[in-house]
Homo-oligomer: A and B are copies of this chain.
Amino acid sequence: MPSKPPPPITIDAVYAAPGYLFRRMQQIAVSIFMEECKAFDLTPVQYAALIAIHTHPGIDATRLSAVIAFDRSTLGSVIERLQAKDYVERKPAPEDKRIKLLHLTKSGAAILREIIPAVERAQARMLEPLKPADRKTLMGLLVQLVDLNNEASRVPLRAEDALEHLGKAG
């Protein structure tokens, strides 16, 4: 019996490929975020880092990377920029000389409060073209897919890691 013919080598196959669509959608999402938040000069990554530090004061960079699932190497320069803007402080940990603890400054906490409405607008705009029911469906499937693919990511999300800096009693 004849085998299936090889798929045609065309750009149309790319347009329908999941990887291509995820890339495009991510770029659109960043573009919308930056537009809504341009008054604040914060990138999506910087925003997520600020939120995570706010939720887990005194966390270190390595654990922060696990908590937001961002690359640890990259995160170093992200924190540097947040430090330069005076949104974040880094203090050496007394009991472990390798570690630097992260805290929000007053400015950091303030900008976080102020930027939230813009971020909410951005997030809403990304899904706006869809019908409300479809938005829910899409987000539901996406949450599932990201979760089920967690280990395929180079930096899997480890939300529970955040608690370790509060004392090693596990």
Interfacial residues, chain A to chain B (CB-CB below 8 A): 6-7, 9-11, 13-33, 44, 48, 51-52, 54-56, 67-69, 112-113, 116, 119-120, 122-123, 125-127, 129-130, 134, 137-139, 141-146, 148-149, 152-155, 157, 159, 162
A170 to chain B, nearest CB (A): 20
Taking a contact as CB atoms under 8 Å apart, the answer to whether A26 and B28 are in contact is no
Q: Given that A25-B145, A145-B25, A153-B28 are known contacts, is A116 also in contact with B7, CB under 8 Å in the complex?
A: yes
SS class of chain A's interface: helix, strand, loop or mixed? Answer: helix
Q: What are 14 A-B interface contacts by the 8 Å CB criterion? A: A9-B54, A10-B51, A10-B55, A18-B139, A19-B30, A19-B122, A19-B123, A27-B155, A28-B146, A31-B154, A130-B141, A137-B137, A138-B141, A141-B141
